[in-house]
Amino acid sequence: MQVKAIRPERDALEIKFPRVEGYRVELPLHETTYKWSGGNAVTVFDSTVVRVDTDAGLVGWGEACPLGPAYLPAYAAGVRAGLAELAPHLLGQNPLEPAKLNRRMDAALKGHPYVKTAVDVACWDLLGKHANLPVCELLGGRYGDDFHLYRAISQESPDAMAANVAGYRAEGYRRFQLKVGGDPDTDIQRIRAVAAVMQPGDRLVADANTGWRQHEAVRVVRAVRDIDVYIEQPCLTYEECLNVRRATDHPFVLDEVVDNIGMLVRGHADRAMDVVNLKISKLGGLTRIRQARDLCVELGVAMTLEDSWGGDIVTAAIAHLAHSCPPEFLFSSTDFNSYVTVSIADGAPHRKNGRLAAPTAPGLGVTPRTDVLGDPVLVVG
């Protein structure tokens, strides 16, 4: 018996971009200020929401929100400036071919993955709507009912950080990312104070966000060698982090220095990490981070899957990515929309007892609130 392939009519696949819009939205924090290494702090996040229209009537949405200008090589106004440069090259292209579209974006704008992220996520939103499937099913399938989250603990005094951990545990969190990377002596106290309130099943990560010098990081890891704690991104460069890794038997997490597949392969070959933190906008969107995630699964490397920051649309994208990751490789994820006071989309996922689930509606499953977004600050097409 001959089996004939069945495929949609070609016209159904010939969907093109006629228009791209960008919106600016401010996201204040519930805790008023978020602090991390180097004295850095943010009180209001500046997020860019992207709308992509198609000539078939489908609309896709994406979001990019850098963690201020001093964290990664990314800044909020740069998203919009980059989109103004990039968007004309998208007109007439098929958004249902995200890998092909990524190649075109790379040809039109070298680097700047954070600029391309919102466009790529919007294309996955469109692809899901076109296929009538949630994005997580397109990214590999939905594992289980939900997945666990971590809570970032803003840099404060040791006692204040310990109290914050206790408060968030009451909300269901069991994984805590402690913001250190300041004075080593104070950081040792922070780690010890928080470790003292840990309970069985909790996981503690001391995340320096590149803030220590190599000699400081070595001092800290040796001073807390008796504590069950993961050490995350202690220093600015990969080489410094690798040297610290070799000076400790603590589980080790790399984050900021792993910004492409090549660095991921290098880190695995050097045994530089036990866990890797992969951020959607750091790699350039869902297309690229899916490649990295699937490589980690093949290599046996656990992951934190998240983004730099964002609101409801970013949280939905994170949820779809994390929910489609085999759970034995998902170390943690996060729900950024719970940190901010402004909701920008209906249908977004919200945590329940420290856990999150991806929406079940087609695409990202969210409907942006136009009354909150206001008028576009960028229109191309």
User: Catalytic residues, which ones?
Assistant: 179, 279
What gap in Å lies between CA 11 and CA 42, rounded to an integer? 47
Q: Compute how many other C-beta atoms are within 10 angstroms of the C-beta atom of residue 215.
A: 13
What values do phi and psi take at 142, rounded to 5?
-95, 125
The two most distant CA atoms of the chain are separated, in Å, by 75
Distance of CA 7 to the CA centre of its chain: 34
Residue type (1 letter), 269: A
What gap in Å lies between CA 14 and CA 27, rounded to an integer? 37
- Nearest Cα to 95, choosing from 112, 289, 49, 87? 87
What gap in Å lies between CA 35 and CA 273, rounded to an integer? 25
Contact 254, 267 (CB under 8 A): yes
Residue type (1 letter), 141: G
What gap in Å lies between CA 101 and CA 99, rounded to an integer? 5
- Nearest Cα to 321, choosing from 205, 147, 173? 147
What gap in Å lies between CA 220 and CA 20, rounded to an integer? 48
What gap in Å lies between CA 124 and CA 215, rounded to an integer? 44
CA dihedral 86, 89, 94, 97 (to 10 degrees): -50
